[in-house]
Structure 1
């Protein structure tokens, strides 16, 4: 039986937790509303427990066995308990901009600033949120580095011929955006082992399908030309390139992208906008595919180019994964543009979703549209502003509110604005919150940056985990002289001493004599005896811990309705001036009850700032009364009993309807009157039609004769019934007539066809009856 009771209790508690979470805890902190602040024994522990917790450092704040841990509470509670505001220790975080240079309009200036502020310093208290603003403005003419990475497998033969002519066209298009453009070139095929390429010696030397056509040997990745503004050199070096070939469909493009990103010195990347154009007509190999060729070692993400610019460790390291490649490109601030043919476009679109600040464009089979593709992709990338954090310390939580030129987005994991034009500013509100565990470390740092640009914001965070009380006294007289130090309102005793004022030696056995009253438990079981005095538990006080400040009634899950309504004192609620009730749940305010017609629309009274309606009225302001009778409803019974001697009041009509004067009207008298002001109510056996005139205590009623009403109703009903019957009969007759005409026409067609028959009517000689007769030879009729 007890087990079933326990199950019922657990079930009801769980149901209450689901339906009314406010009764048991705070959604954000997971703690009880009245227990936000922990029972701590020091100011530092107090301010780390919750951002709403405050420490009272007043010297004589605790009274009558009250624990020093009660100094930790909310500001309102401490003020209500008598702690002066000057003794409240409540450190708050702050935000300082250590460097905040103005944003530039043009990239031709000596120093270009597109991101501000440049350095931010924050003080954060555990659990506290602090927000600061970040601004980004696209400067006109910002420099661009573009590295063209091309697939040189045999299927890209036509494309190579067109790319050899593209140098000036690409630079011409990008010059519309900026005067500082540099272009580089690299190429790739695949790893030079089976099954990616044919390793037969003559095939390695000339991998083209026709041996009469000369191709260069296959290779993994080759850096051909470092970034340069010399277009003539670009065309010469690219023109010297030749097509190659491999066996399988996927290409080794991931190896090439990674090496182009990490080999900064070889490629010549500047701290400007970095674009990597990846041109291919096939899909890609990725991590794990290397095992087909016996290559299992994961790529180390380092540069492995020899003097000739070739990736010489291609056959040692596996292809990079998509995640690794995304990390490398983001760290290098490189924005990839995937220029691919239509047959693989969906694959690269999916890949682009996994790589931040990347774009995909459809490449024609001969790459003739690559210049327009690069121009469109660059415009899309440069107009999209992605604000990201780098190396965020553990225990620091961050969120972004993006205020874009045309929209606002709140609570994002990163800042994002699209369609930002030249010299337009995108603003982001960055919010930081620190966990309690971060008090173990000191100053922490991370960076903010806009993807695709080299500028960064340095953010330094210093935790606020210690109290600065400014009242320290060494060997204080408050702490029994030379045996304790005083700070933040409490004594820190030397070794060998204890007590609120360090008044007892630890090696002397305490007597419980001063902690027991009337034979009760020591400190009423709510504390412990120290130095002959009670040191009470949390929310308990008094010389003998007899006063429990956590046993009051609750309203909406909080003791005495919360600090705004009242406080719990020795098991009873002390309500604030505007509240009353045993749990301070009743507000004395009447603002929500007031209507233009008075308190509660004149049909109720205001209790606890809510309307209590009179009988028959309801809703929030007692303005509705569906049960209240209209004059028509009110006098219909009197009309029926006085005019027709029927209805509910026919037995005591004289008594109930003495104030009602009923006058009967003939049809001729009634027909000329206005019908709008007349009542129509259902009687016992008829429809009552009458007009009410209230004259003080007397009521005058004009009533249409009952028979006329009945006759009209009967005629109306009879007419409707006859009309429906006639309509039904008409439909049946029409249906039968239509069927008869159709049948006669069909019969005449059949007879005409019979008369025109030309074939012989003899039986088919091939016809055999389906009936079979079986005779049992052993059957005897006898």
Structure 2
């Protein structure tokens, strides 16, 4: 029963300690453990192997403590087991531009032994080698819409090689193409031989991917092979681009990829099929990521579905191939989204006839080569790997990140810091790689954990263990039937003796053994860490806190109460007895407060760290002015004036505070915290209310008159303009009377036939 209870206590302590973190630059608090191996698995803990280190009644877990604490408790250095992280360089070849032995990344191979929860930081350096060889494989969409592009590509071999040779002397170029799976609904089975939409066009039969030219340094051979090609055709818009990329990457021997900078240029004017699209043609088998080119370098794609983006991304990273998408503007967004899922890939906008492909490749290669991304592969789940970058021209990063990244790098030295921290013990050494995306070189890291104490062979039948137990790491391992720190207690087999022994560990006939904070051994309580006393009833952990710190870290927790250091007091040692923070040029707390726990407690009406400021100074001293103006007695006024100095100014003045619109006054704090008050009569003033009213009314009247005058003037101008228009119209009017057939003159001539001239 005792053994079971002891096991429960150990498990409880263990669970309490899980999750303890180590912060660089800050020593973690040691969570004590009952054995040496468990102790060194906790950051900040060390184990004392000195035989007589413990006091009578102390538990073995007291051997587990911080190194400083063990030293203070007289455990000599030679008796302290406190393993440190170890770092061994297995291969550290210097960086080199030698064409026969290029080294861009160092170190190359390291071994590290880590303590659980204790991080280790080491540097990695990189410098891109000048003139590093380049392999470029040109992968082209040969669907019918790329007809103009094919004619352009036939003459680009020399230009592409010339552009690449400006960057390095050794360049190889290859060529492959793709259309789509030769199956319905992707490709017409009726027009298999000539799938062109027009009968007058001559097209070759559709295919998933074909390697027309493995990598070669002969540009003429590239142009000759490209010029042999004819355009092809398919039914739907998406192409078998991902199928082609997969084969171009995994078929390393047939493409003839070298251990150099590897670039895959992908050109297309349409989108791509992805995993799952093969079901339309009855293809359900997922892609296996293997090479399936036949002897002619062709892949039909009928057996396997299109690869997924994630699968393709992983294969590209594993083979250190950098991908350039050269696509037309209308499908740029689709490939931009695809590129974001594939490390070491970029997208460029291709003109309709591919005339800018050389410039595009040059720009894309520059972008790829100037970006560095450092990451790990194959690290165990128990290991945390973080990076900090020191890029040229920028300050060193302060935060640890999942990847080390630098931009705008050419041939400068770049430094990274790598931080390793293991959360659990590893069963065996684990090896993983740290590498830069797109670079074939890598850092091989072998990591193991230091989780077992090397205390030598056990001392059998040790005198320290009463001649019956074995001594291992200063801890007695007692045989069956013996108990106690030194195996000094022989367990009785009869029930009465056992119950009597246990009863002596019950405080005041309580049912709790050792107050549930320890174990009963040989009739005595052996207390768990943090508890003390005959029955482990004294809590040495849970004392009052100040600002989140137990006993303000200025005292020790003893049996639930804080025992404060010198110059500290209070239930949580939160009160410092010094007065440094209370000192001011006007005296302690400016003479208007008392210094309590090295801080000023201000009198009523005063505020600030040193009580040097007033709270509403005008109302505070208003009664003082009332008393003096009203002619109150001296003692009464002194009390209302807070025993300050008050004086009346001879001249009138408009000071900060006012009293009944007759008196103005100001209040200041003088040397020694003395209150100084000056008051004076307010200068004669004009009734501002009447002035404001009369000026407002006058302004309104004047503005109204001005508006009326302006209105009348504008109206007169309008009338004059209309009258002038009328007169002008009158002058332009002409009455032509002779043309009016209805017009008759007003004079009528009448001839009398009887009248004669003679008469």
Aligned pair count? Answer: 692
For residues 77 and 577 of structure 1, do their structure 2 counterparts lie closer, same or farther at Cα, with a shift above 3 Å needed? farther
Aligned to 2:126: 136
For residues 61 and 591 of structure 1, do their structure 2 counterparts lie closer, same or farther at Cα, with a shift above 3 Å needed? farther
Would the aligned equivalents of 1:107 and 1:140 in 2 still touch at CA under 8 Å? Answer: no
Alignment of 1:245-394 (within 5 A): 245-312=233-300, 314-394=301-381
CA distance, structure 1, for counterparts of residue 275 and residue 241 of structure 2? 12
- Correspondent of 2:428 among 442, 455, 463: 442
Matched, 1:395 2:404: no
Alignment of 1:155-554 (within 5 A): 155-200=145-190, 203-312=191-300, 314-407=301-394, 408-409=396-397, 410-422=399-411, 424-436=412-424, 439-469=425-455, 472-481=458-467, 483-505=468-490, 508-509=493-494, 510=498, 511-512=500-501, 514-515=504-505, 519=509, 522-524=513-515, 526-554=517-545
Would the aligned equivalents of 2:285 and 2:305 in 1 still touch at CA under 8 Å? Answer: yes
Shift of 1:620: 3.0
Would the aligned equivalents of 1:636 and 1:688 in 2 still touch at CA under 8 Å? Answer: no
Would the aligned equivalents of 1:471 and 1:488 in 2 still touch at CA under 8 Å? Answer: no
Would the aligned equivalents of 1:64 and 1:543 in 2 still touch at CA under 8 Å? Answer: no
Partner SS, residue 286 of structure 2: coil
CA distance, structure 2, for counterparts of residue 702 and residue 260 of structure 1? 95
CA offset digits 1:73-113 (Å, max 9, x no partner)? 44455556565555443322233333222212x353x3111
Shift of 1:466: 1.4
Shift of 1:25: 11
CA distance, structure 2, for counterparts of residue 689 and residue 594 of structure 1? 29
Partner SS, residue 389 of structure 1: strand
Aligned to 2:560: 571
For residues 593 and 460 of structure 1, do their structure 2 counterparts lie closer, same or farther at Cα, with a shift above 3 Å needed? farther
Partner SS, residue 156 of structure 1: helix
Alignment of 1:59-208 (within 5 A): 59-75=51-67, 77-78=69-70, 83-84=75-76, 86-104=78-96, 106-108=97-99, 110-200=100-190, 203-208=191-196
For residues 685 and 157 of structure 1, do their structure 2 counterparts lie closer, same or farther at Cα, with a shift above 3 Å needed? closer
CA offset digits 1:541-596 (Å, max 9, x no partner)? 3443343323433333443234xx23222333233446433323334565555556
Aligned to 1:683: 659
Partner SS, residue 421 of structure 1: coil
Shift of 1:39: 5.4
Partner SS, residue 412 of structure 1: coil
Aligned to 2:697: 725
CA distance, structure 1, for counterparts of residue 679 and residue 573 of structure 2? 58
Would the aligned equivalents of 1:198 and 1:246 in 2 still touch at CA under 8 Å? Answer: yes
Shift of 1:460: 1.2
CA distance, structure 2, for counterparts of residue 342 and residue 535 of structure 1? 78
Would the aligned equivalents of 2:385 and 2:419 in 1 still touch at CA under 8 Å? Answer: yes
For residues 69 and 541 of structure 1, do their structure 2 counterparts lie closer, same or farther at Cα, with a shift above 3 Å needed? same
CA RMSD between the two structures: 3.9
For residues 461 and 738 of structure 1, do their structure 2 counterparts lie closer, same or farther at Cα, with a shift above 3 Å needed? same
Shift of 1:210: 2.2
Partner SS, residue 431 of structure 1: strand
CA distance, structure 1, for counterparts of residue 462 and residue 208 of structure 2? 78
Matched, 1:46 2:63: no
Aligned to 2:744: none
Alignment of 1:548-697 (within 5 A): 548-562=539-553, 565-577=554-566, 579-588=568-577, 592-593=581-582, 600=589, 604-627=593-616, 636-637=625-626, 641=629, 649-650=630-631, 652=633, 656=637, 679=655, 681-688=657-664
Partner SS, residue 141 of structure 1: coil
CA distance, structure 2, for counterparts of residue 448 and residue 328 of structure 1? 17
CA distance, structure 1, for counterparts of residue 27 and residue 410 of structure 2? 52
Shift of 1:417: 0.4
Partner SS, residue 92 of structure 1: coil
Q: Which deviates the most, 744-753 or 548-557?
A: 744-753
CA distance, structure 1, for counterparts of residue 213 and residue 297 of structure 2? 9
Structure 2 residue ranges without an equivalent (≥5): 1-15, 730-759
Shift of 1:242: 1.5
For residues 356 and 98 of structure 1, do their structure 2 counterparts lie closer, same or farther at Cα, with a shift above 3 Å needed? same
Partner SS, residue 325 of structure 1: helix
CA offset digits 1:663-696 (Å, max 9, x no partner)? 866xxxx7xxxx7xx746422243548999x9xx
Shift of 1:261: 0.5
Q: Which deviates the most, 349-358 or 737-746?
A: 737-746
Partner SS, residue 408 of structure 2: coil
Would the aligned equivalents of 1:64 and 1:542 in 2 still touch at CA under 8 Å? Answer: no
TM-score w.r.t. the length of structure 2 is 0.82
Shift of 1:325: 1.0
For residues 551 and 682 of structure 1, do their structure 2 counterparts lie closer, same or farther at Cα, with a shift above 3 Å needed? closer
Shift of 1:635: 7.7
CA distance, structure 2, for counterparts of residue 74 and residue 441 of structure 1? 26
Shift of 1:295: 1.2
Aligned to 2:735: none
Aligned to 1:645: none
Would the aligned equivalents of 1:93 and 1:130 in 2 still touch at CA under 8 Å? Answer: yes
Would the aligned equivalents of 2:618 and 2:657 in 1 still touch at CA under 8 Å? Answer: no
